[in-house]
Amino acid sequence: MGSKRSGPALTRRTYRRLVYGIIAVGVIGLLAGIVLDERLLGTVVYLCGAWLGAGIAFLAPWWSDTTLQDERDYDLHNRASGLTMGIATILGISIIPALYVLDAGGYVEISGAIGGAIAVLSALFLLYGVCFAIVQRSA
């Protein structure tokens, strides 16, 4: 006996509306929490929306018999990812060394926020390198 996925019918259009709608509710909840000075509640709504939306986006391909993403989606994703990493690389390579030189010369001070941004950017590139290596080995 073959195994057939038996989930509810989910179309590409419904899938996109569901995922983006849930994430939009989370973002609106966060903004409302900021405006209404209920930051904790806004953050909880945002995190629930982000996790639920991301969970559906990740699990829906196994849940549905319908093809939810095709070659066009993968191509767009690859182009957007490459463009994002390229811009981050150019900005990082052009700004970060200059900041360290100016800091060493006493012209500017690398504050905690700037140091944190540099650490996040470094972690992003490290994560990208690890993911790239994993995908390359599995291909």
pLDDT of 54 over the 80 cut: yes
Q: Which of 68, 83, 110 is the last residue of a domain?
A: 68
DSSP-based helix, strand, coil % in the chain, nearest 5: 80, 0, 20
Q: What is the pLDDT of residue 119?
A: 93
The tally of domains found in the chain comes to 2
pLDDT of 4 over the 60 cut: no
Question: Using one digit for the tens of pLDDT, what is the confidence trace for 105-115?
Answer: 999 999 999 99
Q: Regarding predicted confidence, which is higher, 7 or 129?
A: 129
Asked if residue 81 and residue 59 are part of one domain, the reply reads no
Asked if residue 94 and residue 59 are part of one domain, the reply reads no
User: b/e string for 76-105 if b means 16 or more Cβ within 10 A?
Assistant: eeeeeeeeeeeeeeeebeeebeebeeeeee
Structural domain boundaries, residue 124: 70-139
Please check whether residue 29 is in contact with residue 43, taking contact to mean a CB–CB distance below 8 angstroms: no
Asked if residue 20 and residue 37 are part of one domain, the reply reads yes
Q: What is the pLDDT of residue 118?
A: 92
Asked if residue 87 and residue 125 are part of one domain, the reply reads yes
Asked if residue 76 and residue 40 are part of one domain, the reply reads no
Question: Using one digit for the tens of pLDDT, what is the confidence trace for 59-118?
Answer: 888 877 778 888 888 899 899 999 999 999 999 999 999 999 999 999 999 999 999 999
pTM of this prediction?
0.62
Mean pLDDT for the chain overall: 89
Asked if residue 138 and residue 105 are part of one domain, the reply reads yes
Asked if residue 62 and residue 12 are part of one domain, the reply reads yes
